[in-house]
Amino acid sequence: MNVKSFMQLPITKDFSIVAGIHGLSNPVNSVEILDFEFSPDIQTVRETIFNRHSVVLSSLLFARQKPEYLIDTIKNLIELGVSALAYKPVIFQNLPDEVVAFANNQNFPILQFGGDEFFEDIILEVVAYTKQQDKAHKLETIIKKLIEKKVNEEQIHSFLQQLNKPFEKYVFAANLQIDTTENTEWIDSLFQLEPLLKSGIICTYKKSIFILMTNTSKYFQFENILNEWMTMYAIPKESFIIGYSQVQCTQKTLHLAVREAFFARIMAEINVQPTCHYEKLATDTLLIELYRENTPFAMKFVHKYLDPLLDEKVDPDLIQTAISYILKKGNIKEVANSHFCHPNTIRYRMTKIRQLIAPADNDFVFYEQLSAAIKLHLLHNRIEKSAIVFE
């Protein structure tokens, strides 16, 4: 949490910024109350007074008769590493100009309560938010390990124990990402489904959402149930790119369910499709596993085959045409439509591409190798954006 997200809590949403607007990124680890700690008339009873990275709440009662105490208070809070001061305007409706100017100069946020919020309620809400964030971080860390690391059954059992929920024999996974990744409001909408997951989890992972459900039957209609829930909560399925795993054994192959859903979603993005089922990827699964198991080898093949097209001196239309040619499964007319040009233009470009990378190959070998290289190239670019390293 930082000061900005602190102000977005339900209980603090009406707070206003009095000073230090450029310090809203300051981290917040706790919330504390300031009574008379900085009054010269009171002897300090705590060595540390306030913790670093805390938001300090106060009514500023200690400065009621002596407003000059306020400037020293702000200086002391900054020296202690406090992230922000939030005050209730019962003593001071407006702070002295020199206090506001000093806080602005130091990029130290000063917030004013929006109404009659109680200190204790603010503290409790921050504690609840922190626990929720800790849980979310734990879940995302587990998902990260299941995708990126080599795991065994013992580790899977440990992960399941950490999740502290009942799980059935079979697991089904979906990975969802909205078309516009900059818009994260949809995350809150998807978390509305969480109360329905009696034997599963929902969590974030690198700007996407994982939904895992378990069931006693391997024939459980996971996709249908998920669609029904999204309809019930008015969550527009058409706004998402969704990857679905195959059914897996919860205690033994949980990691495969997570990986399959993740890569199915990646392949849906590559093929510009709204959904993708891992079991329908056919030979593309071989490319995925090759990339996972030996990324350097896979990329060596890509560079050897595609570098002539990726050269800065080469017309960039060629690599884009090659990509469209593979995604459109060699349909010249569809490639031409997607590039807004005549089919003969595409045929001319494909001839140049062939001359650059495989002049001696027959049609079958040319398409087969170009397809593998293009798909690995696109897969690598998608994975690189997520900064994933496989082990």
Q: Which long-range CB contacts under 8 A does 273-281 form with residues at least 24 apart? A: 273/241, 274/237, 274/238, 274/240, 274/241, 274/242, 275/241, 275/242, 275/243, 275/244, 276/242, 276/243, 276/244, 277/243, 277/244, 277/246, 278/243, 278/244, 278/245, 278/246, 279/246
Residue 327 backbone dihedrals phi, psi, to 5 degrees: -65, -30
Q: Do residues 344 and 279 touch, judged by C-beta distance below 8 A?
A: no
Is a pLDDT exceeding 80 seen at residue 181?
no
E strand or H helix that includes residue 174: strand 170-178
Summarize pLDDT for 310-324 with one digit per residue, the tens: 888 888 899 999 999
Summarize pLDDT for 331-352 with one digit per residue, the tens: 999 999 999 999 999 999 999 9
Average pLDDT over residues 169-197: 78
* Average per-residue pLDDT for the chain: 89
Summarize pLDDT for 287-303 with one digit per residue, the tens: 999 999 999 999 999 99
> What are the domain boundaries of the chain?
3-117, 129-281, 293-385
Is a pLDDT exceeding 80 seen at residue 142?
yes
Q: Do residues 199 and 213 touch, judged by C-beta distance below 8 A?
A: yes
Please tell me the predicted confidence (pLDDT) of residue 338.
92
Please tell me the predicted confidence (pLDDT) of residue 180.
56
Summarize pLDDT for 221-246 with one digit per residue, the tens: 999 999 999 998 888 888 889 999 99
Greater model confidence, 282 or 169: 169
Name the percent of the chain lying above pLDDT 70: 93
**Interstrand relation of 200-205 and 54-58 (parallel, antiparallel or unpaired):** unpaired
Is a pLDDT exceeding 90 seen at residue 66?
no
Name the percent of the chain lying above pLDDT 90: 61
Is a pLDDT exceeding 90 seen at residue 22?
yes
Summarize pLDDT for 111-141 with one digit per residue, the tens: 999 988 899 999 999 988 888 888 888 889 9
Is a pLDDT exceeding 60 seen at residue 40?
no
Please tell me whether residue 9 adopts helix, strand or coil conformation. coil
Please tell me the predicted confidence (pLDDT) of residue 39.
52
The whole-angstrom separation of Cα 80 and Cα 82 is 6
Q: Which of 56, 114, 63 is nearest to 92 (CA)?
A: 63
Domain 3-117 fold is 3.40.1390
Bridge partners of residue 84, in order along the sequence: 55
In CATH, which of 3.30.300, 3.30.70, 3.30.450, 1.10.3470 is domain 129-281?
A: 3.30.70
Please tell me the predicted confidence (pLDDT) of residue 237.
83
Q: Do residues 336 and 346 touch, judged by C-beta distance below 8 A?
A: yes
Q: Do residues 330 and 367 touch, judged by C-beta distance below 8 A?
A: yes
Please tell me the predicted confidence (pLDDT) of residue 46.
46
Q: Quickly state the pLDDT bin for 41 (edges 50, 70, 90).
A: low
The whole-angstrom separation of Cα 156 and Cα 141 is 13
